[in-house]
Amino acid sequence: MKAAVIVFPGSNCDRDCKVAIERSTGAHVDMVWHGDTALPDKVDLIVLPGGFSYGDYLRCGAMAALSPVMAAVKAAAERGVATVGICNGFQVLCEAQMLPGALLRNAQLKYVCKSVELDVTNAKTRFTAGYAGRRQVVMTVGNGEGNFFADDTTLERLEGEGQVVFRYLDNPNGSARGIAGIVNEAGNVLGLMPHPDRAFEAELGSADGAILFQSALASA
């Protein structure tokens, strides 16, 4: 199995993702620079990591969404390749219009960094199948703009189509309906603010994030 982690100027969780995927799944992981125009051959999983791409200039993820590599990421996603955007990566996916909605400043206007309990709202996606009926998992958030927003029509569609994958049990950001992670209509693009890459071994406080990576690659 093969995964690719996209590296933007200002990414700071790219190596965290590489280590988490390697240790969780044994997959080979390539680091792909944002200025590249192609992905490795036969990639099974693409990860857009957390951090502060381009220093969060303009809007979080706005400039990264226009990076040369994103054309290849979009093309791969359209072919059905599993694609995950974590934290800043979620913001990039929304700015690139690969996922609906937007991530706004946290409701309390403060950076939030802590472990959070999540409800696995849809355990039938290719990213959550490995949770095998578990409804509560623990990951970590670290963001200042993790407040998911969408208009009511979009929220109703996300809920009705089973596209809400994770929901906060104690909403730390003020996200609409407590949404922590969503998938696209095809079910192969996931964006989430909590970090599975910071929760892949028990020594980190939780190994629940490992299951997300394992599920994504098992589906390939």
* Residues assigned a catalytic role: 87, 195
CB-based contact 205:216 (threshold 8 Å): no
Q: How far apart are CA 105 and CA 116, in angstroms?
A: 18
Amino acid identity of residue 162, one-letter, is G
**DSSP string for residues in 148-202:** EE--HHHHHHHHHTT-EEEEESS-SS--GGGEEEEE-TTS-EEEESSBGGGSSBG
Q: How far apart are CA 22 and CA 220, in angstroms?
A: 16
Q: How far apart are CA 64 and CA 97, in angstroms?
A: 12
CA distance between the termini of the chain: 8
Helix-helix angle 208-218:14-25, to 10 degrees: 70
3-state SS, one letter per residue, for 67-125 = CCHHHHHHHHHHCCCEEEEECHHHHHHHHCCCCCCEEECCCCCCCEEEEEEEEECCCCC
Pair of tokens at residue 187 = 């079910």
Q: How far apart are CA 18 and CA 154, in angstroms?
A: 33
